[in-house]
């Protein structure tokens, strides 16, 4: 699968999750536990250095919605 969706239940990621489901977009899903600190672990911070969900990785690049919601430009970065 070339699309990986990182989410946490009961977060703003539920909106993105609903859109992906409505569009029938196939993706691997990675469930994170915010209260357990999953979004602050080094593996996830490689995907999204802001440590926030939702995050989408597509063929080695990450998409970070948090910069868009703050009026910033869209960000697409390559894995190292």
**pLDDT per residue rounded down to tens, the chain (80 residues):** 589 999 999 899 999 999 999 999 999 999 999 999 999 999 999 999 999 999 999 876 665 555 444 544 444 444 44
Answer yes or no: is 78 within a domain: no
Q: Which domain covers residue 38, as residue numbers?
A: 3-73
CA atoms within 13 A on the CB side of 69: 12
pTM over 0.85: no
Domains in the chain, number:
1
Phi, psi of 28 (to 5 degrees): -80, 140
Measured CA to CA, the distance from residue 10 to residue 42 in angstroms comes to: 22
Residue with tokens 């703050």: 70
DSSP state of 26: -
CA atoms within 13 A on the CB side of 14: 4
- Report the CATH number that the domain containing residue 63 is assigned in CATH: 3.40.30.10
The pLDDT, as a whole number, for residue 62 is 60
């Amino acid at each position: 699968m070339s699309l990986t969706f990182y989410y946490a239940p009961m977060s703003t990621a539920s909106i993105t999750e609903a859109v992906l489901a409505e569009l029938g977009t196939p993706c691997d899903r990675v469930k994170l536990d915010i209260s357990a600190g999953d979004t602050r672990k080094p593996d996830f911070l490689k995907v999204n250095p802001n440590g926030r969900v939702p995050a989408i990785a597509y063929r080695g690049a990450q998409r970070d919605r948090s910069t868009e919601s703050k009026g910033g430009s869209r960000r697409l970065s390559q894995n190292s």
